[in-house]
Structure 1
Amino acid sequence: MIRVLIADDHPVVRQGLRTFLEIQEDISVVGEAADGAEAVTLAGSLRPDVLLLDLKMPVLDGLGALAELGGGTVRVIVLTSVSDRSGVAPAMRAGAAGFLYKDVDPAALVQAIRAVHGGQVLLAPEAADAMFAGPEPAREDAAVALTDREREVLALIAAGRSNREIARELTVAEKTVKTHVSNVLMKLGVQDRTQAALYAVRHGLA
């Protein structure tokens, strides 16, 4: 059973999400928070598997809540309004595992919860575009330069695997995996594993 905590300052949104999610056989809504500070407190006491987190909330906003959570065991999916395009990169760098907008299809939201709970990184297409918008976006043709092994490593990064897990799966030394990861980051022109995972999702390599 996937334990979900909902954090949104609008009661009607929380109720709507709870009503839909609780008809899923593998999902249980364990609590609701009306602001970021309450979300952090409840995440500590209820120990949910997945937190659905709005960015714009009183007391402590979503980014502040992510900073407080500090990359703990809870997997965070930012679920915010379409106008919050600028929050994508900061949220992912702060530790979010997913970024979706509130106009997401309900069935897609359920699949996202399952995917993120399983260790994947997931973004709405518009969020991925926003993530890579800027003066130095990842090159569109960068993936062409990846070797077959580097593509395998990239797919496993996108699936949320650690270097040790990748080494075990590919039957290679962990030091070799570190080299592959460094090469992938360099060739894609990204700074970290999260951006590499987002690139993989955006370009259908995951």
Structure 2
Amino acid sequence: MPQMRVLLADDHPIVLMGVREIIERDPRFKVVGEAMSSSELIDKIAQLRPDVIITDYNMPGDDQYGDGTRLVEYLRRHFPEPRVLILTVISNPQVLSWLYELGISGVISKSAGLEQILVALDAFYREGHFQQAPPDGASSDDVDGLAQRLSQLTVKEFEVLRLFATGVSLGEVAQSLSRSIKTVSTLKISAMRKLNVDNDQALLILCVKANLFA
């Protein structure tokens, strides 16, 4: 069986280097390219035709394809053949379930260790698929209840919150998600209510604590 071709995408060079090093331990897999933005990823998929795409969930700063669920929706619609693994620290069960509904093959938690990438690739190589069930609840070791509060957010609320937390305006969030400013504002207010914060400063502190930027 020929080598499995893998394309990597992350906006942090050190993550790309670490993932490449892990993958290249096994001669069955070959990293055929790397991308540091959504636009670069889309271009390289068209050029390199990988078997597997391993991409970060958060790659801000790309107006054309965005990131998060917007990018994943584009990937599955226009490039249905490659298997997609998502790298993230996000644990919101609704977001993760939505990603599986879109057709991704698995989620690799950055906090759990990147060695799981080889587990997934090995499953792809030997069995053709990676069996991984989406989570159905918040982390049981969440001491202060933050993960539980985040798990209450809908996918749309979470995406608005994640983008707003990067420092962009509500207008830019609305443009990125192809929603009206009124809709985005309503989703932000609803998310803040669920998270029990009443101002933008408290919201940003919570986002940093939840590591929504990774």
Q: TM-score, normalised by structure 1?
A: 0.56
Greater shift in the superposed pair: 54-63 or 24-33: 54-63
1:18 shift after superposition? 0.9
Candidates 5, 18, 32, aligned match of 1:16: 18
Residue of structure 2 in register with 1:129 after alignment: 136
Distance 1:128 1:87 in 2: 10
**Structure 1: where are the runs of 5+ without partners?**
135-206
Q: Which amino acid aligns with 1:55?
A: Y
Matches within 5 A, 1:65-104: 65-69=71-75, 70=77, 72-83=80-91, 85-104=93-112
Q: Deviations over 1:135-169 (max 9, x none)?
A: xxxxxxxxxxxxxxxxxxxxxxxxxxxxxxxxxxx
Three-state SS of the structure 1 residue aligned to 2:112 is coil
Residue of structure 2 in register with 1:36 after alignment: 38
Q: Is the 1:40–1:65 contact (alpha carbons within 8 Å) kept by the matching residues of 2?
A: no
Q: Deviations over 1:39-89 (max 9, x none)?
A: 122112111111111111121203222222215111001111245655312
Q: Is the 2:84–2:104 contact (alpha carbons within 8 Å) kept by the matching residues of 1?
A: yes
1:10 shift after superposition? 0.8
Greater shift in the superposed pair: 109-118 or 3-12: 109-118
Q: Which amino acid aligns with 1:128?
A: P
Q: Is the 2:97–2:135 contact (alpha carbons within 8 Å) kept by the matching residues of 1?
A: no
Q: Which amino acid aligns with 2:57?
A: L
Q: Is the 2:108–2:116 contact (alpha carbons within 8 Å) kept by the matching residues of 1?
A: no
* C-alpha spacing 1:121/1:130, structure 2 compared with 1 (3 Å): farther
Q: Is the 2:22–2:115 contact (alpha carbons within 8 Å) kept by the matching residues of 1?
A: no
1:106 shift after superposition? 4.1
Residue of structure 2 in register with 1:4 after alignment: 6
Residue of structure 2 in register with 1:49 after alignment: 51
Residue of structure 2 in register with 1:119 after alignment: 128
Distance 2:11 2:53 in 1: 14
Q: Is the 1:53–1:77 contact (alpha carbons within 8 Å) kept by the matching residues of 2?
A: yes
1:20 shift after superposition? 1.9
Q: Is the 1:3–1:30 contact (alpha carbons within 8 Å) kept by the matching residues of 2?
A: yes
Q: Is the 1:54–1:79 contact (alpha carbons within 8 Å) kept by the matching residues of 2?
A: yes
Distance 1:130 1:75 in 2: 25
Distance 1:99 1:43 in 2: 20
Q: Which amino acid aligns with 1:98?
A: G
Q: Which amino acid aligns with 2:119?
A: Q
